[in-house]
Structure 1
């Protein structure tokens, strides 16, 4: 797929050319949908360019430079990464470390070389120390090693924060990063091994309904998580690109009070998909961490009035997209 462009209304001022790497994925499409469906998000004098791996190899410096020479971005939102589920991370920690370090180094260096005015990269809550206090906040990223299962990916993502500060100190670059909690929405990866909690539940309910079998949830359903709808995240990333002034990263998440249990999430998926079969909790499977609570106090300092999409509504919209796009869903 060639690079896709989305032009907002033309005006008389200087046009921002915003390049989104990894633009065909979950978060990239969240940005695209926010620009398309939320009129208050659109702004004059912005040209959005969404690229995917088919537009160039970010592992290669020359290929990355060619993307920057072609599109001449004034701003960049960097989403591209080598990602995978638990089992791939366990097996290929070195690959996840080396490839993501290379991708990030190429993108950040090109942003400096080609005078990009602002860069926003996307990190992950998995970068936080495995042993930590909760709620986690932006000051705690480097306080200890991440979980051993995906340390390669986690350290590569942490280094973006280190590079952002180094580029700012040495070259005055305005490079920053966001840290979303559990993202879900249209264009997610619904593969049971490489996908995350909510898309996995949707896939399982879909399969149980199709095959007329029971729907099995792994674990007790008691663990609690903060979920952020990809379109809400897209809107907040656009705000970060336009207005967030800091080099230090910012957590983008619903509040602690909006945590939901896996059981509650499963019940909402069952309801949204109108599944009438039996629901079973396989308590022989591990629950994992009970909570991974993140503080959104910094976000609320800047955006006290931001309205997150109600969880039930966002689940319904995600399910509707899934059922309406089975032919292109990533399984």
Structure 2
């Protein structure tokens, strides 16, 4: 994919979501190459749970490279009530995408995993060698086991067919085009939406829990630049964690303060300590990433938050919420 004389066709499955749209943004703003054609697929292009539909999409676009982001996802309640469905649908999606990639001669596939697939009982910081070291949390075992199987599929396609199929494990992703639903979305987009509404009402807003838990947040456009690097340069089958370092962990309280600054919100906030905090820390180790890219510059958290908040305000009517 590196040389200018070879032309590449990169198919991004799940291309209309948070990470897919971030990749589109960075490709269109300096990270694309003249010899690359990028296709951002959506559910309109294919039903990836169906083998024939998936094959038709691959035959139509003829990709040479694939970034596989598509998945059946849901919040805590969705997973709890439908683990079997999450398991079966995601197994089908992943098996179809990788099988059709192999069948049509795609040499490079980068699939997206999640930190939630790691064992429930583990030590921190977590690293790439620990994915299969024990059962995942019971609440989302269906999704987690389906994602873990991508790693197993990658090993098989590499060992038996010499394919360069690998996977990435991002930490908490946020940015433009996120899902800003307060009940179902993740913590940062939920906070952004809460503060937007509180500002309209001129009232303080409420943070669920104590605000003490700490998380590693990665800006979707930084993640996009890293995924493109993985597609072009990373040759290992083993997954790679894409994350800021432990030193850049942010507490939920600090995140709420930064969102308030970014939104120019002056009314203050309260903590609903009757709501559960969840795990205090789920630190991921980015040593492998830093070994490869010691100079990579992450967007400073306040700047990334400001860009995300500005996007949400400007696109409020069409944003997912």
Counterpart position of 1:301: 291
**Paired residues for 1:211-222 under 5 Å:** 211-222=201-212
Secondary structure, in 3 states, of the residue corresponding to 2:49? coil
CA distance in 2 between counterparts of 1:89 and 1:194 reads 11
Query: Aligned-residue CA RMSD in angstroms?
Result: 1.0
Gap runs ≥5 in structure 2: none
Structure 1 residues 240-249 or 275-284, which shifts more?
275-284
Match of 1:191 in 2: 181
Alpha-carbon distance between aligned partners in 1 of 2:168 and 2:214, rounded to the nearest angstrom: 22
Contact 1:68 1:114 (C-alpha < 8 Å) held by counterparts = yes
1:144-164 CA-partner distances (Å, limit 9, x unpaired) = 011111111111100000110
Tell me what 1:96 maps to: 86
Counterpart pick for 1:134 among 103, 110, 124 = 124
Under a length normalisation based on structure 2, what TM-score does the superposition of the two structures give? 0.98
1:314 is aligned, of 290, 304, 308, to: 304
Shift of 1:12: 6.1
Question: Secondary structure in 2 aligned to 1:275?
Answer: coil
Q: Give the distance between the partners of 1:98 and 1:164, measured in 2 at CA.
A: 18
2:248 alignment partner in structure 1: 258
Which residue number corresponds to residue 55 of structure 1? Answer: 45
Deviations along 1:136-194, whole A, 9 cap, x unmatched?
00000000011111111111100000110011112111100000000000000011222
Question: 2:217 is matched with which residue?
Answer: 227
**5+ unaligned residues in a row in structure 1: which ranges?**
1-10
Provide the C-alpha distance between the structure 2 equivalents of 1:108 and 1:42, rounded to a whole number of angstroms: 24
Return structure 1 stretches of 4+ with deviation > 6 angstroms.
Answer: none
- Alignment-derived partner of residue 5 in structure 1: none
Q: TM-score, normalised by structure 1?
A: 0.95
> Residues of 2 paired with 1:308 and 1:35: CA distance?
17
Map Cα deviations across residues 235-283 of structure 1 (whole Å, 9 max, x no partner): 0000000000100000000001000100000000011111122310111
Q: CA deviation at 1:317?
A: 0.1
